[in-house]
Structure 1
């Protein structure tokens, strides 16, 4: 299932903040360090077929300043540091043919870096986005400061410690016999239908989240649920929990606030959607876990 899924492979030996909280301060001065640079939300890559997200430390000399840095870990003993620059910095690199600046989804879709680098980019984007959104303490409202090489923010006013968060999302292929339930939202690409999905709520099991979301969005009752696979989804920082569920009812009553349409599809429909030969409907992009849930279903 996972052969082409984006963001799932990360070659880094991840940093253990408990063992080396001063790693960032030490490696930030290392001229051999690799820099994963984001200008706002946009990764900066070397141009190539493919390029790479691992830039030389000298690239920072092009920036008047940067906002945040996080020590991510090691790539074959080479320290790797994620760096957040102002969005305006993108122009500096867009004007240089040695670099490519593109959004992270397009990087994955177009293969602008090797597949094994996408997990590192997802990690960098999620952590840097978390820093940008958590500059004040949720407990007392005072400013927080960077700590533990970027894997924590501390509040000096009340002593609270804040850690990066990942939001769990259930995404489910619901079947009844030889048909599966798919829906589309207005923001989807034209003709594209995908698996239903929704955020896991506090105090809720994965299985119950699948049942609740499907009933809320499509009016379908779901019985047995099983886990299949997961995918980091750095928009901004989610983990997609892929499940299969067995429908106990047929009639669809979809929530128009959530979905533009929902319907049952046959295996033949889905095969042609994946192949790109269906005259009316299209499958989700191969970078997404939904594509692979569908592919496994028609293969089984």
Structure 2
């Protein structure tokens, strides 16, 4: 599966009948994540990973990574990253996406206002820079895995596996969610061992005014699109790819003496070869 994806093959696609109406448009799916060094690592930067789909089926992705100041959760160069990814989408499809679905990992609730101010504006600015008057609709979703919610089936509910977990695809969007914010929990995967941990989704911005059921269905669909696996994973493929991109960037800087005052220059010294990026965009899976 990995080799086929790396060599520009397609492992699986969503059946047309299973696609919610919003995903039948020209959609770009973007995942973003930032990994940070441990507290004792004072000379190591944070690494940004961003992955974006560049085909109309939502299977093929490219990735970018960046270096930035340690412990900074906001993606400072997001505008340039999204500009590059939009241009690749246009080069592949001869058109720009109507809708950008942005899945952002690793953000706490106390950072929601700041991340909207910085990263939503960066995406909007990137769209304007790519084409004058171009204003795609943007849906901004934060993906959270660090929480303490767990779901257990009632006696009348079906169970999954020997661990008696709730079935994959279980969604909870009321009672335990914030009353003043659109949130939902999704158990998308079948846990191999122990209790299946749900993923929490917080919708911070939605130009598309997505129907909640359709947005939840689309998110669940994206959990089936991870190239390495023929089963659903625990969170959407674009977010998973962003994590892989950030991890790869972390490997590139391992055991290097970096100039923390000029991280842009350090990043440029470790650029991935253009023929790899252009010829095999999914080299990172």
State the TM-score, normalized to the length of structure 2.
0.24
Report the structure number with the largest CA radius of gyration. 1
Q: Which has the higher strand share?
A: 1
Q: Which has the higher helix share?
A: 2
Q: Which has the higher contact order (CA 8 A, sep 6+)?
A: 2
